[in-house]
Amino acid sequence: MLTGRYEPSLLPSPVKVLEGMGELVKDGTLITHFKVSLSRFITGYTVAAVTGISLGLVLGYNKKVWEFVEPVVQLLRPVSPIAWFPFIVLWFGIGDVPAIIIIFIAGFFPTLLSTVSGVRKVDPAYLNVANNFGIRQPHLLFKIILPAAFPMIANGLHIALGTAWVFLVAGEMVGAQSGLGYLIIDSRNSLRSDLILAGIIFIGISGLVLDRLIKLLEGYIERQWGVSEGRRN
């Protein structure tokens, strides 16, 4: 009924969308753009996770430093990564780097804030036991505090994954010549609404797969550290 009221070029049928996706898979276009997007995402997300966790551990443990830094973080956090795009393009040009930086910005703040919050909520009994056994920095930070705070850090990593994936696609739409976001814009310019929807569906499926993969990684880390999972899904 819905498709009967619209031109197929405006709202293609599910069959047309599946045919369009098959076309993209057959000629290799979809896989090529996906590989580019995945490479950008892994790079930006990994750097954001490592940086956010490392800084979060230090800032969460040093309360006075965090009280000094927090206003700056809260000032920058609400700013959309896309808002920085004109400066990013001006400084780094068009290509992989702008998209990676946007992913980094999108993933950094959720990871940082979750890590700081997790560190500040670590049971003081853990710190007392570590102190009694003479455990000092940096072992205290990475062997006691990090595992204890990991369930909350994992929540931040999940949020960061979703926001980073969303802004990756947005960044590719306005500042790249390849990737899934560019594929959608290129399909729009070609008036191929079936390929637009095919790209949107594939982006959603890819995000779901990435979410499941990071859950598996988090579960493995928690088992290695003997940490009980702080969330139940």
Q: Both tokens of residue 160? A: 């960061």
List pLDDT tens digits, range 167-186. Answer: 988 888 877 788 898 899 98
Contact 99/170 with Cβ under 8 angstroms?
A: no
Tracing tokens 């929807």 back to the chain, one arrives at 197
Q: What angle do CA 218, 104, 30 make, to 5 degrees?
A: 80
What average pLDDT does the segment 124-150 reach?
79
Q: What is the mean pLDDT of the chain?
A: 85
**Could you tell me the pTM of the whole model?**
0.84
- Under the banding of pLDDT at 50, 70 and 90, the label for residue 227 is low
Domain extent listing, the chain: 7-225
The listed CATH number (1.10.3720.10, 3.40.50.1970, 3.40.50.2300, 2.70.98.60) that belongs to domain 7-225 = 1.10.3720.10
Spatial distance between the Cα atoms of 105 and 110, rounded to a whole number of angstroms? 9
